[in-house]
Each structure stands twice: as structure tokens, then as C-alpha cells.
Chains A and B, each alone.
Chain A
């Protein structure tokens, strides 16, 4: 059994293991600052640039931009690479696109909206920095909440009630900058969908084929190769087991280039839907079958 399969079988303990590692491994960024503290008593400040972008491939990072920041997101996920030249490794296949706009009206808070091509999903999202990793040992990690509500805006013929259009996503992200170059985070989440498909479990009785709530955990990190260039890795593990249509995990690897106002992320991964609740609940792209896609996230920042 290969290590990835082993992790898949382990499910929750894997996420918990990483979480424990984040809290208790003490070879950290804060440790360096501590050693200086004895001599010069530097001011205790939040650790900066734990990540360069609010995105890390398919997940949010703990980063909440400073007050007055306006941000735009341009995200693409192309078709599967394995078709080869036929659709130029998925780049000419039908792609999924999300356009987003966010603003930080006050410190630690980031609010935004977005529109995704798949299902014409409008999302309204909120992000709040609950705790920030400090330069000395007070808080060894940053903890950020991210949540969204999404509305499927396709034609009324697809729905019985308005509430059938709604899905929700809630996530707690725990992140730490271990060294100047290496940051990692773990992010448990729950996705909720108001309506799920049904099936006839017995004559005349319809049962839901899956739960309305789905738990998952993401583990991801960044390693800086140069000042403005980093490699990214991301893993999403489904936890909830459904009767049918269980989602596949997501493995993604990428490269990030960050400048003063932009962050560019290019990667391979298995998530297509761009909406975290759609990805976590419904991902049918299986890395064991070579179903990888190329994608990118571009963010543009303005400070007002």
C-alpha cells in the first residue's frame, strides 16, 4: 500500500496528527525571536507574511489582509490533463472560472463576493482572524475562520424551493510560520447543502443518498525557494462517509510568484469546482486514475 493510500485509510487521525504537530513541535519561527528577546526585548508583534496570498490552491490561508485592502480574484481550473494533445492537456477543454472581489473594512476582517461559472454560483464570504501568531511565544499559531454562503443562480426549473439553491461552508484554519521559508496550516471544515439527491429505498419511500453535512480536513503549506517564489502543496481529505457518491481527496502541487500587488499560483490538482463546499462534497476527480487538472489563482491587491 503506498503512503497516500495509507493516509486515506487513516482519515481523521492524519488531520489530528498534523494539528498536534503544529501545536507542539517547537522548532519554530517564534523561537528565534525569543532568543533575541533576552538581549533586546523587541516589541511583540504579529508574525508577518505567514502566506503571501489569501488562497493556497483550493483553500484559504490564515492571511487576512490589512484594513483598507481591496482584492480581486481570478481563478481558473482547466480540463483533465490526461486527454493529452486532443485538448492540449486540458487547457482547451471547458474550464471553470471564478471571479471574486473582497475588501477589509476593519482590521482582521475580510468580506467578499464571487461568481463561479459552474452552477453560476454566487458566493458571499467572510474571513476573520481570531488569533494571530506573535513574534514571541504568546500565540504560536494563527487561527482564522472562513465561511461562505453560495446561491446556485441557474434557472428556476432546476429547483422546487428557493432554499434548494443554498449551500454553506465553514472552516477553521490553524496556521504557523515555522521558519522564514516554511509555513503550514491545517483546516477542518464542514460543508452543508440544503438539498441532496434521493433514491427509492423501498416502494414509495425516498431516502437521501448522502448526508446534508460533510466534514473534511485540509493540510497545506508553502516553502519559499526565493524571496518571491515558493512551492505550494495541498491535501484535502474527506471525512464523512455517504451512502453514494463519496468525494475523492485532492492532492495539489504548485508554484507561487508574489509581487507587491499580485500573487500568481499555478498548480496541478484534482479539484475543479472552485467552490469549497462543491469540491469537498462532490469531487469526482480521482488522482489514482490520473485525473489531474491544471489551474491558476491570480490575486490583485489595492490599498486604500
Chain B
């Protein structure tokens, strides 16, 4: 009886730890607060062909290894990250303002590097935002 009790406790603990680790894997990423200044910041760069081309070039150089070719978060390095890079085709992402995407790209957080030094021209980051908007 005692042995059965111990085994059932052990089984419960095992099941619980599997569930919890599973929960950990599918849990949504931490919310990423964006300062109001950036939330409302308008995109000063018109999304014309030149801007989209600039953004595409930057995307392929700096972003594609984690975010994947189409922004689904399935790049070759994505599996090694602690934080999932997110899926840019979702309605949730599309509802974010240009300013919010600009802020997150510039500042970075955890696995996501800050790009304000690597891409020093802010207009280029806005062009990158314009290209990200074209991802489906």
C-alpha cells in the first residue's frame, strides 16, 4: 500500500513536471511594453519600392536567420533561442503600430539584439518596418 502510494505520488510529480515543461514551451512570450512616444510615432519613410528594397536587403542580412524568410519565426537559428521570435503573419503582430516595431527593432530585448548601432540610419530601420509589413 505504502509502495503504491509512493509510486502514485511519483507518477503525479512526473506527469506534473511534464505538463509544466510543456506549458513552458507553449507559453506566450513576455509582454514587451513599448513607450507611448514610440507607440504613436508615425513612420516618416514612405513605403515605396525603394524603401521596400532597402528593407528587404536589411531583412535578409540581419533578420532572416532567426525570423525566417517570411517572418514566421522559423529561421535556421530560431531553435537555439530562449524566446520564440514571434510570427509576423498573425493578426496580433499586424495590429502593432509602425512605431512599436521600430522601437523593438532599435532597442532589442533578450535574444533580440539591438540594431540601432548596426543600422545607424533611423530611416533604414523605418524601411525595415515597411518591408516587415509586406510579409504574409
User: Which residues of B sit under 8 angstroms from A40, Cβ to Cβ?
Assistant: 46
Interchain CB contact under 8 A, A259 and B117: no
Q: Does A304 contact B (CB under 8 A)?
A: yes
Interchain CB contact under 8 A, B50 and A36: yes
Interchain CB contact under 8 A, B117 and A260: no
Contact with B along A271-304 (1 / 0, CB 8 A): 0000000000000000000000000000000011
Q: How far is the CB of A118 from chain B (nearest CB, A)?
A: 33
User: Which residues of A sit under 8 angstroms from B121, Cβ to Cβ?
Assistant: 45, 48
Interface of A (DSSP majority class)? loop
Q: Does B84 contact A (CB under 8 A)?
A: no
Report how many A-B pairs have Cβ atoms within 8 Å.
29
Q: Which of B33-41, B58-66, B94-102 contacts A (4 or more CB under 8 A)?
A: B58-66
Q: How far is the CB of B134 from chain A (nearest CB, A)?
A: 15
Q: Does A198 contact B (CB under 8 A)?
A: no
Q: Does A49 contact B (CB under 8 A)?
A: yes
Chain B interface residues toward A at CB < 8 A: 46, 50, 53, 56-57, 60-62, 65, 117-118, 120-121, 123-124
With A66-B120, A258-B61, A259-B61 known, 11 other A-B pairs at CB within 8 A are A43-B123, A45-B121, A48-B121, A48-B124, A66-B117, A227-B56, A227-B61, A259-B65, A260-B61, A260-B62, A304-B117
9 A–B contact pairs at CB < 8 A? A43-B123, A66-B117, A66-B120, A68-B117, A180-B53, A180-B57, A260-B62, A260-B65, A304-B117
